[in-house]
Structure 1
């Protein structure tokens, strides 16, 4: 997986542009070491202050790197406009280049420190199984959590529940509510709290939970939704027929669907999945959890609900 940035870009992509040009392999080694434990860190950060601090330091380093990449792009463009030498030769001959190199070295030192700290705070590698022929689609609904052990999310929960209870005319038959935030902030937990809230339980004919993750396979997702709606195994082999069947069974029904951990950036895939869902009863809702602002904006028709890091006070609780 890639380390995600606030703007929806990824650390690996941003840094590759800069450090590949500087012929540096050090960054790739450090990124690889960090990526291997990132899943574990994201799961532990809410309960472990040291892990949360580690992730914050990583995030700030990412911001500094993005700033540096932006400056280099700007300087490269200026050189091109003014007819100056190519950026790489410019780097090797100017005082500005020395400053850039010093900042690169500082970023690498910080990343080295972050890599060293991962072992001290007990982060471990968490493997992710990938199977291209069988996308990971789970319809197991997460159990209701004891809210007494969840801190700092009351306002977020009320905001999502209020959207689920709302009948306001947004111009859309189905409201798509994006919950956006970096990994480990509690997007899934927040969605669970809203999904299981007593005020929501009796509003919908059907409630469905699907964990999407890496693969956004429209056929598999549509089939999973259809099986959930009908409570029957589906043997339809063609996507068009599958969508027609889902359209048919959703007519007259009001549903709540959670699409948890979405990574898909392809609007055509989202449009294809959503099309048969539009035939459900007005007031049906979809909650989407994602790390990317752009994905949330692409899928949602209400503003992104962006999760922030909880306060130190709530964290200590």
Structure 2
């Protein structure tokens, strides 16, 4: 993540640094310390100069390795500067009540502090001298747009466009008992963002499916294929209660008892593991269900499909531009008003053409431009250089990169902090906020409202 959005990360980081330098505690702490104030002001000036080119560098580092290397050097220097600001901020927060003692203690370290700051500034200035050689321009980006996304087994069917044939085909396969195998496994295969999970959600929540199966379970598997955890999640999905067992043998015996004599539907969403041995171990309790039971698996991998399948994989294709437009327009709220600006609609359709039939891209960009009616915002998205990524990268990446790029600096900082968690890691909202507070990402006024 940091490699992809290095410049944006630094922009967010700089904003937080400036806020800390301008905090009342730090200002009061430095009052009367002229030499340190002067060094810190020189640092701020240099950081502002760095921030002015980050918007341009953030775009160019995607295709220019020299710019990316330059950003790496700049990031290291900025992180060193942040260490000193953190030291000053800590002293300001923890200063002692006796002003004279505090003043003498500070003076003992002031010269060393000033030397460190000047050393960092010299390095920053040396790095910034190369910006002209790299052709980087001073650009202040209009980074004010935002988005957010997450999915569950629930689905808003009014949000599904252009998938009638796919829905009918998958439902027919799920509701049929014609397969020779007692337990049928249907893989849904397609690239990221194509709508595999949405189709599985629609099928899972279909009224006929609910009546057809005695038990249903939905589990998001993702990259970590831990047989014990997946088995436990299936048990919990069936019972709607937490399961305290951890031993795989006990878990599989419990799942076997719950599935025995029952016709079940189990959805395993986002499977990546290609090991037949792991799959063979996971599926053993499934064999105790009755004929007509189904396992629905969504995956990007043809090899995964070949390992698990008993039915031919169902491959999901791209949407038409017209269907993508319906998704985009809904999430951009274009038709809330009775009249839509023709220029906005024209730009929107040009953006949708770049979505390449991927519904998640259309939804993400529609949400990014939600209720935005300034043509400049739409042109920024349409003409972004991030569309010109190498074809070796995922087709969905440019749009998601753009949606990140236009977050505010503070939200970028908070968002990127989450990238250290493994995929599908569950965390408590309040705990995450406390971590953000500990890192100094939140304003003091925000802390008081927790």
TM-score range, shorter chain: 0.5 to 0.7
Q: Deviations over 1:188-224 (max 9, x none)?
A: 1111111111221201111111111111110011112
Match of 1:173 in 2: 182
Match of 1:188 in 2: 197
Written as runs of structure 1 = structure 2, the 5 A alignment for 1:143-154 is 143-147=154-158, 149-154=159-164
Classify 1:172/1:126 alpha carbon distance in 2 versus 1 (closer, same or farther; 3 Å). same
Q: How far, CA to CA, are the matches of 2:308 and 2:200 in structure 1?
A: 16
Number of matched residues? Answer: 194
Normalising by structure 1, what TM-score?
A: 0.55
Tell me if the contact between 1:213 and 1:262 (Cα under 8 Å) persists in the aligned partners.
yes
Is the partner of 2:192 in helix, strand or coil? coil
1:270 is the counterpart of 2:270: no
Q: 1:249, CA displacement in angstroms?
A: 2.2
Written as runs of structure 1 = structure 2, the 5 A alignment for 1:41-56 is none
Match of 1:238 in 2: 247
Is the partner of 2:212 in helix, strand or coil? coil
Match of 1:205 in 2: 214
Q: How far, CA to CA, are the matches of 1:263 and 1:243 in structure 2?
A: 22
Match of 2:259 in 1: 250
Tell me if the contact between 1:187 and 1:307 (Cα under 8 Å) persists in the aligned partners.
yes
Higher relative contact order (CA 8 A, sep 6+): 1
Match of 2:303 in 1: 294
Tell me if the contact between 1:243 and 1:276 (Cα under 8 Å) persists in the aligned partners.
yes
Q: 1:279, CA displacement in angstroms?
A: 0.4
Match of 1:33 in 2: 4
Match of 2:227 in 1: 218
Q: 1:245, CA displacement in angstroms?
A: 2.1
Q: 1:146, CA displacement in angstroms?
A: 2.9
1:160 is the counterpart of 2:170: yes
Classify 1:277/1:123 alpha carbon distance in 2 versus 1 (closer, same or farther; 3 Å). farther
Q: 1:282, CA displacement in angstroms?
A: 1.1
Q: Deviations over 1:18-65 (max 9, x none)?
A: xxxxxxxxxxx9xx539xx9xxxxxxxxxxxxxxxxxxxxxxxxxxxx
Q: Deviations over 1:70-121 (max 9, x none)?
A: xxxxxxxxxxxxxxxxxxxxxxxxxxxxxxxxxxxxxxxxxxxxxxxxx999
Q: 1:299, CA displacement in angstroms?
A: 1.1
Match of 2:237 in 1: 228
Match of 1:85 in 2: none
Written as runs of structure 1 = structure 2, the 5 A alignment for 1:118-137 is none
Is the partner of 1:184 in helix, strand or coil? coil
Classify 1:146/1:126 alpha carbon distance in 2 versus 1 (closer, same or farther; 3 Å). closer
Classify 1:171/1:232 alpha carbon distance in 2 versus 1 (closer, same or farther; 3 Å). same
Q: 1:229, CA displacement in angstroms?
A: 3.0
Tell me if the contact between 1:174 and 1:286 (Cα under 8 Å) persists in the aligned partners.
yes
Written as runs of structure 1 = structure 2, the 5 A alignment for 1:53-132 is none
Q: How far, CA to CA, are the matches of 1:302 and 1:120 in structure 2?
A: 50
Q: How far, CA to CA, are the matches of 2:142 and 2:319 in structure 1?
A: 23
Classify 1:311/1:250 alpha carbon distance in 2 versus 1 (closer, same or farther; 3 Å). same
Match of 1:133 in 2: none
Classify 1:210/1:120 alpha carbon distance in 2 versus 1 (closer, same or farther; 3 Å). farther
Q: Which residue, 297, 303, 314 being the options, matches 2:312? A: 303
Classify 1:276/1:123 alpha carbon distance in 2 versus 1 (closer, same or farther; 3 Å). farther
Normalising by structure 2, what TM-score?
A: 0.39
Kindly report the root-mean-square deviation, in angstroms, between the aligned alpha carbons of the 2 structures: 3.3
Q: How far, CA to CA, are the matches of 1:122 and 1:260 in structure 2?
A: 34
Match of 1:44 in 2: none
Residue segments in structure 2 that go unaligned for 5+ positions in a row: 9-140, 327-450
Q: 1:257, CA displacement in angstroms?
A: 0.9
Classify 1:199/1:123 alpha carbon distance in 2 versus 1 (closer, same or farther; 3 Å). same
Is the partner of 1:202 in helix, strand or coil? helix
Residue segments in structure 1 that go unaligned for 5+ positions in a row: 2-28, 38-118, 129-139
Q: 1:232, CA displacement in angstroms?
A: 4.1
